[in-house]
Structure 1
Amino acid sequence: MNILIRRIVTLSRYSGKMGRPKKHDEHTAAALLDAAERTIEADGIQSLSVRGLAADVDTTARAVYSLFGSKDGLVTALGARGFGMLAAAVKQVPVTDDPAADLVAAGAAAFRGFVVAHPALFRVAIQHPDPTRSFRSEAVAAFAQLEARVARLGRTSLGGRSALQASVEFHALCEGLAAVELRGQLPPGQEEQTWRSALSALVTGLGTRAQWRD
């Protein structure tokens, strides 16, 4: 996370202008991102405003522009932060001698844990359209963590699918479960169990040869 914020600050279009002392640091950048996440969670991404965020963290609108370039730049940083968190969460799932159980845990514990703790970042990083693909590298890195877990199943457990294809299917189910849970439509008190049941069924089904046609 600190590496990501340092990158954001370093790439700022204003940070080194005319040799002025740096007034806006990584702490301010992190505080602005935290405030933006809270705002989106409470009122949606359309409610974000540069002046509002600056007021929330007792800084100036100029600080936002100095650190992120624009409001869109701040949203990009949020998306990158979200994918960074997701990649870290999946990476932290223990690797055991049961790759199928590990993959289910990557979804039910890591992916779901990220969604529940950071619903706003889930929406920005994964559900919010990013026509500029401005945080593509972070998205690719996060997906690579998932694909590595899927690849551990081996070709015989993927029903002829590539690890990439199986990863897309697994991710799609995770994203769908997340969206349904955030709408409050999973059985109360059984959310994680529902994730584990659905993902276990998918992982088991991956071993059946796919019946698609080109």
Structure 2
Amino acid sequence: MATAAESSTAAVYSLFGDKEGLIGAVRDRAVAGLFRALAAAPNSEDPLADIYTLAAAYRRWGHGHSHLYSVLFGGVQSFKPSGVVGTDDPVRPLITAIDRAVTESVLDGEATAIAVSLWVTLHGLVTLELAGALDASTAEAAFRSAIHAMLRGWTAPAVLRSPRHDEPAP
């Protein structure tokens, strides 16, 4: 790392303390970048569309920052949600959108459980994509179907029974 930065190892360690400090700083940069990407996702009148938009933003960020994604989720000082969502926590935009969907009775469940379900789904998909296990068309189809299925699984029964707004009434 020092060579790539055209610096000495001693200079790098004087800035970060040790290897773990350097990795921690990179992890913090990754957390901040993921938060900015999710916080920038637009909101609409449709809470499910907003959650899907956040999922797509997570996926785009993972693809655009695969090196930082691997630092966050690759096992070396990986990001571990504390259970308490801070103001710049990358899951805050997701929790906010899910809370809104639960409040509006669109999703039925506890927001943290829904967020974990979405994160597990997204993480699996993005990790497989970054590893090259899925070609582009398969990955896109898997993303759409997995996110829609996950959201349907948490959708409130009354919403599932109501006529879809994009289908004409009989």
Whether TM-score is above 0.5 comes out as yes
Q: Distance in 2 between matches of 1:124 and 1:177?
A: 17
Q: Which position in structure 2 is the counterpart of 1:9?
A: none
Q: Which position in structure 1 is the counterpart of 2:69?
A: 122
Give runs of aligned pairs for residues 46-195 of structure 1, distance below 5 A: 53-108=1-56, 110-130=57-77, 141-155=89-103, 156-159=105-108, 161-195=109-143
Give CA deviations for 1:44-99 in whole Å, capped at 9, x if unaligned: xxxxxxxxx22222222222112111111111111111111111111111000111
Percent of counterpart pairs with the same letter? 28
Cα drift, residue 182 of structure 1? 1.4
Q: Distance in 2 between matches of 1:118 and 1:72?
A: 21
Q: Distance in 2 between matches of 1:167 and 1:206?
A: 11
Q: Distance in 2 between matches of 1:192 and 1:97?
A: 25
- Runs of 4+ residues deviating >4 angstroms: none
Residues 1:60 and 1:178: Cα distance change in structure 2 (over 3 Å):
same
Q: Distance in 1 between matches of 2:26 and 2:140?
A: 26
Q: Distance in 2 between matches of 1:132 and 1:180?
A: 18
Q: Is the 8 A contact 2:23 2:77 kept in 1?
A: no
Q: Distance in 1 between matches of 2:141 and 2:62?
A: 15
In structure 2, runs of 5+ residues without a counterpart are: 158-170
- State TM-score, norm by structure 1: 0.64
- State TM-score, norm by structure 2: 0.79
Q: Which position in structure 1 is the counterpart of 2:168?
A: none
Give CA deviations for 1:11-41 in whole Å, capped at 9, x if unaligned: xxxxxxxxxxxxxxxxxxxxxxxxxxxxxxx
RMSD: 2.5
Cα drift, residue 167 of structure 1? 0.6
Q: Which has the higher helix share?
A: 1
Residues 1:114 and 1:191: Cα distance change in structure 2 (over 3 Å):
same
Cα drift, residue 125 of structure 1? 1.1
- Equivalent residue pairs, number: 153
Cα drift, residue 136 of structure 1? 6.0
Give the match's secondary structure for 2:90: helix
Q: Distance in 2 between matches of 1:179 and 1:193?
A: 15
Residues 1:143 and 1:69: Cα distance change in structure 2 (over 3 Å):
same
Q: Which position in structure 1 is the counterpart of 2:163?
A: none
Q: Distance in 2 between matches of 1:127 and 1:98?
A: 33
Q: Is the 8 A contact 2:38 2:54 kept in 1?
A: yes
Q: Is the 8 A contact 1:82 1:122 kept in 2?
A: yes
Q: Distance in 2 between matches of 1:132 and 1:196?
A: 25
